[in-house]
Amino acid sequence: MTRCPGLVRVGLAALAITTSAAPVAAQGFRASFDLRGQSVATRGWLLDSVPRSDVQPGVGGGLYSSTGYAVTCSTATFCYYYAPGPRLQYAPVVLTTDVTAWGLGTSGLSAHLNIRMNASAADEPFAGTTPAFQFWEGYLSYQHAWFGVLAGRQVFTSRLGFAGFDGGRATVRHRTLGLEATGYVGLGLARASSVGINDPATAPLGDYIPGERNLIGGIEVGIARGPVEARAQWQRQVDRTTDYLMSDFLSGNAVIRPLERVAVAGGLDYDLAQGWVGSAEAEIRYMAPRVYVTAGFKRYMPHFDLWTIWPAFSPVPWNGVQGSVVVSPLRWLKLRGRIEWHEFEGTGAETALGSAAPTGSLWAAGATITAFPRWTFDAGWMYDKNFGAAAAGGDVSIGWTPRDPLVLRLYGAYSQRPLVYRYNDSYVTWAGLDVSLRATQQVLVGASVVYINEDRNRPDAAAFDWNQARVSAFVTYVLSAGGADRLSVPDAVKRMPSAVGYQR
């Protein structure tokens, strides 16, 4: 544990006090401990150079070093290339603890904590493990029939993403009318992070970071009546040092189920600061016992906070259509297909020396067979192409459940993955085995082994080995009282029947 901010200590102390207090009626808690570790070994890359005088033309007319590497001579004196770097060994071990306690003397009062501790059994820290102590949530919640209050570190999920902050949230609701309004304000956390934007962990390359954490606040109103659920939200982030805006968004979402088998969902966000429509989507879903069809439109607009310079680089959105179908002609056979196509809006930057394909598409098909009890066979194929890279390949998996608590899955795949802006046409073959066992109602254990073989098709010596093996294991233990003595969603439910292929 490298750091434990004061707020964290206060939160932990409050939780300890509340959970160790004398038991009162209906006191209860649920604590889950999830310990995971994996071992990964990869080959790093090393930027190297040779004097311009030491290179000569080679295969294809390009310049090569005397050691056989294709080089780029972007300066007058030196030419550069990537050589095999050191072997990198990672062994992250992560303990995630989630605790909810209730019955704290006041009906409706509960305490929540979600923390993660990272350690490494190897020299290299793995991506996402810094800082070592990650405080994701720690708040007290009071819920009444018509209002609720949350105070502490919390994550507010909405169309605009997972907004983490230290602060307060209040909700008023009218159950009969199905109306709900929420307001929240606090000191923000960086996107997908447990630390603020001023933490060096968010800028490992030493880039500029603000001096203080931002202020975040917003209002969301929602309605859920009959076949309609809808939300509207306004969220603003402010730089506390300068009072300048960091982001200012309006968004709306709705899901309507006009018929038993039909659902229509859509949403849109609008960037008030820049005055343009951000991401949006609309889709229709039809669900019959043996047919499931979706069709829709999607627009994706990247979002950068205004304290960075990236909005000034005019990122462009893409607009696309997508559709999917799942059909079960037989009870034991499920066929699926998926098509997506998108086109970027004009960049205005095309020149004779540079352009990018404006369109991309994805085609996928697959089948799942469950003709034999306890066995699941799955095969899929996918072709995915866009302006910077492409992938095409297929995968197969076999799932076997010899006994209910024990699940084994063997899988493998092959794909070709060319890059557009780098000589790196890889042919990847991989295979793996997952095992999971629900040892008791409270304990789930599992392990996984994957080997990835990557043949890199380059005309020079830079086609070095980048194969890797990954071995991982986990144990999840749930400790509880007050009736909530079940594990959370089991992996068997949370994961796809063969969530190992390209068909995601």
- Report the C-alpha gap between 187 and 210 in whole angstroms: 13
Q: Site map for another protein, 431-470, x if CB under 8 A? A: -x---------------x-x-x-x-------------x-x
Touching another protein, residues 218-247 (CB under 8 A): 222, 224, 226, 229-231, 239, 242, 244-246
3-state DSSP assignment of residue 420 = coil
Between 32 and 370, whose beta carbon lies closer to another protein? 32
Ramachandran class of 152: left when φ > 0, alpha when ψ lies in -120 to 50, beta otherwise: left
Between 7 and 459, whose beta carbon lies closer to another protein? 459
Between 21 and 60, whose beta carbon lies closer to another protein? 60
Between 10 and 316, whose beta carbon lies closer to another protein? 316
Which of 9, 277, 310, 440 is close enough to bind another protein by CB under 8 A? 310
**Residue in the structure block whose two tokens are 């004779």:** 352
Question: Does residue number 403 form part of the binding site for another protein (CB under 8 A)?
Answer: no
DSSP track, 449-472:
EEEEEEEEE-SSTT-----EEEEE
CA angle (145 as vertex; 142, 150 as ends), nearest 5: 25
Between 12 and 389, whose beta carbon lies closer to another protein? 389
How near is the Cβ of 22 to another protein at its closest, in Å? 26
Of 271, 233, 267, 270, nearest in space to 253 by CA: 267
**Residue in the structure block whose two tokens are 């994706």:** 300
CA distances from 246 to 241, 497, 500 (A): 11, 41, 38
Between 22 and 475, whose beta carbon lies closer to another protein? 475
Which of 25, 289, 373, 403 is close enough to bind another protein by CB under 8 A? 289
How near is the Cβ of 344 to another protein at its closest, in Å? 5
Touching another protein, residues 31-90 (CB under 8 A): 32, 34-38, 42, 44-47, 49, 70-72, 74-75, 78, 80-82, 85, 88
Stretch that binds another protein, among 3-11, 18-26, 385-393, 437-445 (CB under 8 A): 385-393
Stretch that binds another protein, among 1-9, 15-23, 111-119, 436-444 (CB under 8 A): 111-119
Stretch that binds another protein, among 18-26, 51-59, 263-271, 437-445 (CB under 8 A): 263-271
Which of 50, 104, 115, 137 is close enough to bind another protein by CB under 8 A? 137
- Report the C-alpha gap between 64 and 56 in whole angstroms: 5
Stretch that binds another protein, among 5-13, 17-25, 102-110, 303-311 (CB under 8 A): 303-311
Of 222, 243, 241, nearest in space to 232 by CA: 222
Touching another protein, residues 192-221 (CB under 8 A): 192-194, 201-208
Cβ-based neighbours of 121, under 8 Å, separated by 6 or more: 37, 39, 91, 92, 93
- Report the C-alpha gap between 359 and 276 in whole angstroms: 22
How near is the Cβ of 482 to another protein at its closest, in Å? 12
How near is the Cβ of 372 to another protein at its closest, in Å? 19
- Report the C-alpha gap between 365 and 309 in whole angstroms: 41
Of 500, 468, 502, 465, nearest in space to 391 by CA: 502
Stretch that binds another protein, among 2-10, 16-24, 265-273, 369-377 (CB under 8 A): 265-273
Residues touching another protein: how many (CB under 8 A)?
A: 180
How near is the Cβ of 377 to another protein at its closest, in Å? 14
Which of 267, 295, 319, 400 is close enough to bind another protein by CB under 8 A? 267
- Report the C-alpha gap between 227 and 217 in whole angstroms: 30
Cα-Cα-Cα-Cα dihedral of 130, 236, 245, 205, to 10°?
Answer: 10
Between 14 and 425, whose beta carbon lies closer to another protein? 425
Of 101, 223, 60, nearest in space to 481 by CA: 101
Which of 146, 162, 372, 375 is close enough to bind another protein by CB under 8 A? 162
Question: Does residue number 158 form part of the binding site for another protein (CB under 8 A)?
Answer: yes
Touching another protein, residues 318-377 (CB under 8 A): 318, 322, 324, 326, 336, 338, 340, 342, 344, 346-356, 358, 360, 362, 366
Between 12 and 327, whose beta carbon lies closer to another protein? 327
Of 164, 325, 305, 172, nearest in space to 245 by CA: 305
CA distances from 205 to 129, 200, 201, 208, 209 (A): 16, 9, 9, 9, 11
Of 407, 411, 354, nearest in space to 379 by CA: 411
Which of 144, 174, 374, 422 is close enough to bind another protein by CB under 8 A? 422
Question: Does residue number 9 form part of the binding site for another protein (CB under 8 A)?
Answer: no
Cβ-based neighbours of 118, under 8 Å, separated by 6 or more: 92, 93, 94, 125, 129, 130, 131, 132, 133, 134
